Amino acid sequence: AQSVTQLGSHVSVSEGALVLLRCNYSSSVPPYLFWYVQYPNQGLQLLLKYTSAATLVKGINGFEAEFKKSETSFHLTKPSAHMSDAAEYFCAVFTGGGNKLTFGTGTQLKVEL
Amino acid sequence: DTEVTQTPKHLVMGMTNKKSLKCEQHMGHRAMYWYKQKAKKPPELMFVYSYEKLSINESVPSRFSPECPNSSLLNLHLHALQPEDSALYLCASSQGLRRGDTDTQYFGPGTRLTVL
């Protein structure tokens, strides 16, 4: 079954520093992968998705992610963190061949002055 | 527009109450979902409706009863809930593509439910 693993439940960066949030997938076939962000007391917002069209995917708010088959990874990056980026980030993959979306355990991003 | 709306935003109910959560989308999507999210945890799928028919029920207790009156509306009827059912309930929708794993889901803001 397809799954994702997010390394690091908490990541802290300084404002202006590089953001790197890690996601590794487990799949026998190339999966479709998603990154969602959840601000406090809100729902999930789609940041970006990988659907095999291009390995480097650009999303909203300056985020991007690169699909690396050799590393089974889909890490999320942003060159310069902003205070407003503080949130919970979830990597997700479809499982079961249908429309069941399975989430990683999430990474809480803290941005410090 | 990728908006999914949910009402109410907050709900407090006793264990003997009956209440309903409502979700609405006007994107022409044909698949709708209910998720449950406990604090500091990822969302967990509860139900999926595809073309107004229940297609996935993740072994959810019968005190949760979903309903899809039409392609734009999704309800979750609650009865005799337990305190451990307190959580954020998220609704999502997607186009309902035949190939499910390309079917991007868009989420609503959620209903924060507290069961006393």
Q: What is the pLDDT of residue A96?
A: 62
Average pLDDT over chain B, rounded to an integer? 92
Amino acid, single-letter form, for residue B84: E
What is the C-alpha separation between A68 and B65, in angstroms, rounded? 41
User: pLDDT at residue A98 above 90?
Assistant: no
Q: What is the pLDDT of residue A97?
A: 59
| CB spacing of B107 vs A44 below 8 angstroms | yes
User: pLDDT at residue B62 above 70?
Assistant: yes
- β-strands B87-94, B106-107 pairing: antiparallel
- β-strands B4-7, A44-50 pairing: unpaired
| CB spacing of A43 vs B48 below 8 angstroms | no
Residues 84-103 of B with CB under 8 A from A: 90, 92, 94, 100-103
Q: What is the pLDDT of residue B100?
A: 58
| C-beta separation of A29 from A97 below 8 A | no
Kindly report the CA angle at A32 between A28 and A37, in degrees rounded to 5? 130
**A40 chain-B contacts, CB cut-off 8 A:** none
Mutation to test the A interface, candidates B91, B93, B101, B103, most A Cβ within 10 Å = B101
What is the C-alpha separation between A108 and B72, in angstroms, rounded? 33
Q: What is the pLDDT of residue A53?
A: 76
User: pLDDT at residue A19 above 70?
Assistant: yes
- Termini Cα distance of chain A: 41
| C-beta separation of B64 from B57 below 8 A | no
User: pLDDT at residue A94 above 90?
Assistant: no
**pLDDT band at residue B1, thresholds of 50, 70 and 90?**
low
Q: What is the pLDDT of residue A87?
A: 97
Taking only the tens place, the pLDDT of each residue in A54-84 is 889 999 999 999 999 899 999 999 999 999 9
Minimal-distance CA residue of chain B relative to A92: B42
In chain B, what percentage of residues exceed pLDDT 90?
82
A77 shares contact with chain B (CB less than 8 Å): no
| CB spacing of A97 vs B110 below 8 angstroms | no
What is the C-alpha separation between B37 and A41, in angstroms, rounded? 11
A94 versus B10: the higher-pLDDT residue is B10
What radius of gyration, in Å, describes the C-alpha atoms of chain B? Answer: 13
Q: What is the pLDDT of residue A51?
A: 82
